[in-house]
Structure 1
Amino acid sequence: MIKKITFLILICFVVFSCKKDDDTVDACLEITNVIATNITTSIATINWTDPNGSDSYIVEYGESGFVLGSGTMVVETMTSTTLSNLNPETTYDVYVQAVCSTNNSSLFSDVLSFTTETLPVVPEFRPNLSELNLFSGNLGDLNISSRAFKYELNTQLFTDYAHKQRLVALPENTTMQYDGDGLPIFPDNTVIAKTFYYNIDERDLSLGRIIVETRVLIKINGAWETGDYKWNAEQTEATLDLNGSIVPVTWIDVNGETNSVDYEIPTNTDCFTCHHTYEDITPIGPKLRNMNFNVDGVNQLDEFINRQRLTGVSSSTEVSSIVNWQDTSESLEDRARSYFDINCAHCHIEGGTCEVQSTLRLAFETSLEDSNIVERKSSISLRISEYSQDFSMPFIGTTIIHAEGVELLRAYLQTL
């Protein structure tokens, strides 16, 4: 009897064990090789490898750092999906899960991160500055788009003590071409922008700034065109304004003194006055000789060459340079001539606005004898030393005297 009972128990155990083995479900393995391709400003294709041969997949995505379960989910039956309606210049995280059966899914894959492309710069004068795509993120932060680059000048033009941010946006797969020490040849659809602003308190930059205007040059069909964007009080947008206006600005300088100016945004006619040579509009600042100096320890022209932004020249050593007018280690003459070059020469050259009414020729490369500075030094000293509309120099672009510049030029003129 005992033997029969034992035998029955063994039979039941075997039957139960076999039934349990029959119910065993294969593990649903994790997705591998998740990649992103065909990335644009708003679309990306996600591909992956499935070791299971599953019939469906769950794709979850969101901006970088999102928590699983809070993202956007897509169900796919193929080993790829296209994500759309993405934001430009934004990093996204993507996870993929295989669904092997109704109650059997894999763990989510390792995270895939990718960044959408930046919107292309628009070489047109649109109603709002934001529409040109020169900046990324909040417009008032002045974060330059990755499709543009910043440039600096060794000696800068004086504009009522305003700070300036300068940038160039070249069309894709183009460069500035070397054409001597002056202006390079810019391709069509180049955009040059200069933004004017004041720090609220020069002693504490964390207090922010007041952005007044952004001047824009666009090369269209071989000719430069000008436009000016006036910033709103909220510092969130700038609108195209070709008629000019006056903006009262107050700031505190490094000495703690309060300064005020009635800043004059130029009209489009004013822009032509300074920017034309004969009948052609030309940029003033970005001459190679004025960009040939170190910025953050690296020569700016060499950086342009290395990044394929400037071609036709192999080294900055092949380009002459003007000096920083504030650098007292340079000669007084070079400092003064550099100051004349950036502040005055665009009008006082052949073909400039003052070609007929003045004999002064103030480009840096013009010899002292041909410049007529010696003959006109009394007139120069008088017209830079006091501000009077229609008399003082520069003729337009400033509303106050540049005390430090006047001191430099007077010291130089006294040596002649």
Structure 2
Amino acid sequence: MKKLSFLFVFAFAIFSCNNDDDLIATCDKATNISATNITTTSATISWNDPNNITSYFVEYGVSGFALGSGTTLIESGTTADLQNLLPETTYDVYIQVVCSTDNLSMYSDVYSFSTATLPVIPEFRPNLSELNLFSGNLGDLQLTPFAFEYDLSTILFTDYAHKQRLIALPEGEKMTYNGNGFPLFPDNSVIAKTFYYNNDETDLSQGRNIIETRVLIRINGSWELGNYKWNESQTDATLDIDGAVVPVTWVNPEGESQSIDYEIPSSTDCFTCHSNNTETVPIGPKLRTLNFDINGSNQLQSLIDNEMLDGLTDPTTVSVLPNWEDTSLGLERRARAYMDVNCAHCHIEGGFCAEQSQLRLSYETAFGESNISDSSDSILARITNTITDYGMPLIGTTILHDEGVSLLVEYINSLE
């Protein structure tokens, strides 16, 4: 019995040795995957094959897809052109080497890349999404990489709405320093401001209600303006030159329910505030209004560092418009800063109210030349009510700004 067992093992060993040539060689997986020629909708994928084979499966899909559910290409070389991709989207790619019909390599390690960002379109298209000012879901208000988000050192009141502000410049171009006021903008620059309310200021997880996005575009040396009204689903906004009234409710920081009929201005209303000597002009982004720190970084310095502002090297040479909410400042500085950002665009030489009123409310205007004292009674009467065509401001608000009115009343009364 032992002899038979030994013969069986010996015969099996001989048989195995005689079939060494039938063993399948290892098919190694592809390595060093890379992407080149990336556009908004295409990319070229390359890889190395240690087997020197000429047949490959390439599978790809939106990042996170399950193997077997993606798009598969069969290639005879170590490159593949991926087409019909989505812009601003991350894709995963896997390569499998086909050494023979019954000998495939393991899948390569996943390789990920993102398609290019769509360029900003400096035109008033029917839908806000067509301007490419935002990436991803429009309602997330995630700025395109081609835009710069900015804020103002002192706020402009619009019925307690929050605002997101952005500037998008043509690729490779810059704003140019032109003193403490507005920089010089190249043609095809876009300035946009989106107005929204947090549904509950005590619980931001409750989301927000986006109402409108106001857009200024520099076209052939002049600014043109348009408003986009957001839909209820918060997926897009449509160009609306006629204006609209939108009922809005929210919970304020004190936990109190608030309700207003928010007024989206018409193009004519926008021009009322955005005009000077009959030309359309921006209001907010003066350099002295941008000259302050956000999260430890000076905005002007960020513009310089990001090669968006030319002709300025030292932000400290630019004046600063004070923050009217800074109670460490004197009453006059706070009140004059509030008047500047909320009122001066009309009460200034060339402004909408220049003929009807002698008030000149720019922060830099000397008090004796501002006519604030001579107009004190009128100021008090008009800032404390919302009578149509009488209360101030004439447009842009439907309710009183309690904090702002309180500041101005205190300031005017201090002049007596």
Please report the TM-score for the alignment, with normalisation by the length of structure 2.
0.94
- Residue equivalent to 2:370: 371
2:88 counterpart letter in structure 1: E
Whole-angstrom CA distance in 1 between matches of 2:67 and 2:272? 60
Partner residue of 2:238? 239
- Tell me whether 1:27 sits opposite 2:59 in the alignment: no
Q: How does 1:243-258 map to 2 (within 5 A)?
A: 243-258=242-257
Question: Separation in 2 of the partners of 1:336 and 1:322?
Answer: 11
What one-letter code is carried by the residue in structure 1 that aligns with 2:229?
K
Q: Which amino acid aligns with 1:57?
A: Y
Q: Which amino acid aligns with 2:242?
A: N
Change in CA separation of 1:13 and 1:243 when aligned onto 2, cut-off 3 Å:
closer
What is the Cα deviation at residue 62 of structure 1?
1.6
Partner of residue 391, structure 1: 390
Deviations 1:222-256 (A, max 9, x none): 11100001112222221111011111212221222
Supply the AA of the counterpart residue of 1:42.
T
Residue in 2 aligned with 1:215? 214
Shift of 1:342: 0.7
Map 1:32-71 → 2, pairs under 5 A:
32-71=31-70
What amino acid is the match of 1:36? A
1:337 counterpart residue number: 336
Q: 1:169 aligns to what?
A: 168
Deviations 1:185-216 (A, max 9, x none): 11111111111111222111111222111111
Deviates more, 1:253-262 or 1:314-323: 253-262
Match of residue 148 from structure 2? 149
Determine whether 1:361 maps to 2:360: yes
| 1:51 Cα deviation after fit | 2.2
Deviation at 1:141, TM superposition (A): 1.9
Distance, in Å, in 2 between the alignment partners of 1:165 and 1:202 is 16
Please give the alpha-carbon distance, in whole angstroms, between the structure 2 residues aligned to 1:231 and 1:30: 50
Q: Which moved more, 1:269-278 or 1:294-303?
A: 294-303
Q: CA deviation at 1:286?
A: 0.7
Single out whichever of 267-276 and 100-109 deviates more from structure 2: 100-109
* Residues 285 and 24 of structure 1, relative CA distance in 2, 3 Å threshold: same
Aligned to 2:195: 196
CA contact (8 A) 1:305 1:315 kept: no
Letter matched to residue 399 of structure 2: I
State the match for 2:272 in structure 1: 273
Query: SS where residue 409 of structure 2 aligns?
Result: helix
Show CA shifts across 1:319-344 (max 9, x none).
11111111101121111111111111
Q: Which runs of 5+ in 2 are unaligned?
A: 1-7
TM-score, length-normalised on structure 1?
0.94
Q: What residue number does 1:99 align with?
A: 98
Amino acid at match of 2:340: D
Would the alpha carbon gap of residues 15 and 208 (structure 1) be closer, same or farther in structure 2, given more than 3 Å must change? closer
For 2:202 and 2:23, how far apart are their aligned partners in 1? Answer: 73
Q: Does 1:126 align with 2:125?
A: yes
Q: Tell whether the 8 Å contact from 1:36 to 1:45 is kept in structure 2 after alignment.
A: yes
- Asked if 2 retains the 8 angstrom alpha-carbon contact of 1:87 and 1:116, the reply is yes
For 2:13 and 2:112, the matched residues in 1 are separated by: 51
RMSD: 2.0
**Percent identity (aligned):** 61
8 Å CA contact retained: 1:60, 1:95: yes
Deviations 1:121-153 (A, max 9, x none): 111111111111111222222222222121111
Distance 1:235 1:310 in 2: 33
* TM superposition shift of 1:42: 1.0
Pairs aligned (count) = 409
Distance in 2, matches of 1:215 and 1:276, equals 15
Which residue of 2 is the match for residue 4 of structure 1?
none
Secondary structure (helix, strand or coil) at the match of 1:414 reads helix
1:159 aligns to 2:139 (yes or no): no
1:263 maps to 2:262? yes
> How many angstroms does 1:263 deviate by?
1.2
Q: Matches of 2:13 and 2:361 in 1, distance apart? A: 106
Q: Secondary structure at the match of 2:414?
A: coil
1:342-376, Cα deviation, whole Å (9 max, x unpaired): 11111111111111111111111111122111221
Whole-Å separation in 1 of the counterparts to 2:224 and 2:147: 19
Structure 1 pair 105/218, CA: closer, same or farther in 2 (3 Å)? same
